[in-house]
Amino acid sequence: MELTDFKVLTFDVVGTLIDFESGVLNAVRRIGGEVAQRYTDDEIFAPYKEGRDLFPGRSSSAMADVYKHLAKKLDLPADQESADAFQLAVLRWPAFEDSIEAMQRLRKHFRLVAMTNADRTAFTAYNHTLGYPFHDSVTCDETGCPKPDPKYFAYNKGRQFAFGYPQNEILHVAQSQYHDIGVAKAEGYTTCWIERRHDQAGFGGTPDPKEVTKPDFHFTSMKALADAVEGL
């Protein structure tokens, strides 16, 4: 199996291309002031993940409530103004430093498709941040469910088939073992794990998977994936 065997690359966006962990940490420490500085990354991520489980709605609106939960747990300002500031910061999460160039390179070789748990509003912001690399996109607004629900992956499989691309021509690229790699492989996708946290312990702001699924391809950055495609 070679990377060049595929015609379509589907992408998890938040966590693979968009650096949401830095976005969350920077916003919490900025809004939370001196008190927030004493918390480690994992001490911030724990109530963030709890909050996201409690408020799983559209990311362009639910993150204010996620912040309020986090703030109460960590004794940070939990007023509406602070929550609104966090919500706005979500739409401004940065791209990883290699994402934009890597996607430009990959676009020369493949059809690029976003498969994101962000809603259409939030994805529009991230697509702008990334320089509009995608030929097509699927959000939770269209699927009616988030990953790791298998129905999300079935929806995309049918959508790409309608455009003329059967599943064996699709490579799913993602950093999340929990949301993407495990379920995608179980649903018959060929998978490429971008292990963004290869030099860090734990799973950070992403829920822990029940087990780590061995992917078909494995890189630690988007640059490394683009290099491999171009034989560099």
- 175 closest CA partner among 16, 1, 3, 8: 16
Q: Cα 12 to the chain's mean position, in Å?
A: 5
Active-site residue, 12 included:
yes
**Could you tell me the CA-to-CA distances from 32 to 44, 81, 96, 152 in Å, in that order?**
11, 12, 24, 35
Give the count of beta carbons closer than 10 Å to the beta carbon of residue 1.
Answer: 9
- The side-by-side arrangement of strands in the sheet containing 190-194 is 136-138, 111-115, 8-11, 170-174, 190-194, 217-219
Residue 173 — φ and ψ, nearest 5°?
-115, 125
Q: Please give the single-letter amino acid code of residue 149.
A: D
Burial category of 125 from C-beta neighbours within 10 Å (exposed 0-12, middle 13-18, buried 19 and up): middle
Rounded to whole angstroms, the Cα distance separating 172 from 151 reads 15
Place of tokens 């992956």: 153
Place of tokens 């950070």: 204
Catalytic residue of the set 5, 12, 149, 208: 12
Active-site residues, by number, are: 12
